[in-house]
Copies of this chain bind each other. A is one copy, B any other.
Amino acid sequence: MGEEKKDGIIEAALKLFEEQGYHQTKVSDIVRAAGVAQGTFYLYFQSKEDLFRSIAKSCLEEISGTLKKGPVDGLNDNEVFYQMIKSCLTIYYHNKTILRIIYRNGVASQEIADISEAFYNDMMLIIKQCLLESGEYPDYSEQQLEITAYAKIGMVELVAYQWFVVRNCGPEHIDCIAQTITGMGNGCKTGLPGVNGA
């Protein structure tokens, strides 16, 4: 069935976009890697940009969708904030491929500016709701909650990029990173890779 070919193209593209970035990756590279003919590409995607958008959309929606569904791994104790950060980190860990692609190609790159914008807005709304429910910011205005939400997103995103992508950390360090970011817990003084992966 044709969906196999389509999936092969997506898979190949994902790999190449991650390795070389969107602009360096040629359609000819993708089809060669996917083992299909040049024309087959255009059977499933209108253009290279269409493919990129399609990939970015589904990946980013998966991220926000996962976060929306509630804490990952069934975590739900009383430390709401900590759990939220940990959930985010976990989700980012599982989506580091798209994280790398987005960071390499621009959060607001021409090609996916709208998709990216929608994603950040979604994320912000989810976090904002979470902040409201936590009751930790009783006096904050809407705008202040939004600022705080974006602050959390930025925090998690850059740390996730630096540790999961650049330093290639495994999932066993998620707890430690979450504790460090939130200032909760005191474990994990050692064992995390430093700047140069040491």
Q: Is the interface of A mostly helix, strand, loop or mixed?
A: helix
Q: Indicate whether A78 reaches chain B with its CB closer than 8 angstroms.
A: no
Question: A103 is contacted by which of B104, B106, B177, B188 (Cβ under 8 Å)?
Answer: B106
- What is the interface size of chain A, counting residues whose CB is below 8 A from a CB of the partner? 50
Contacts of A46 in B (CB 8 A): none
Contacts of A95 in B (CB 8 A): none
- Chain A residues with a Cβ under 8 A of chain B: 20-21, 23-24, 100, 103-110, 113, 120-121, 124, 139-144, 146-148, 150-159, 161-163, 177, 180-181, 186, 188-190, 192-195
Q: Using A151-B155, A154-B158 as known contacts, list a sample of 7 further A-B pairs with CB atoms less than 8 Å apart, ordered by residue number in A.
A: A21-B110, A23-B110, A120-B162, A143-B193, A144-B189, A151-B181, A154-B155
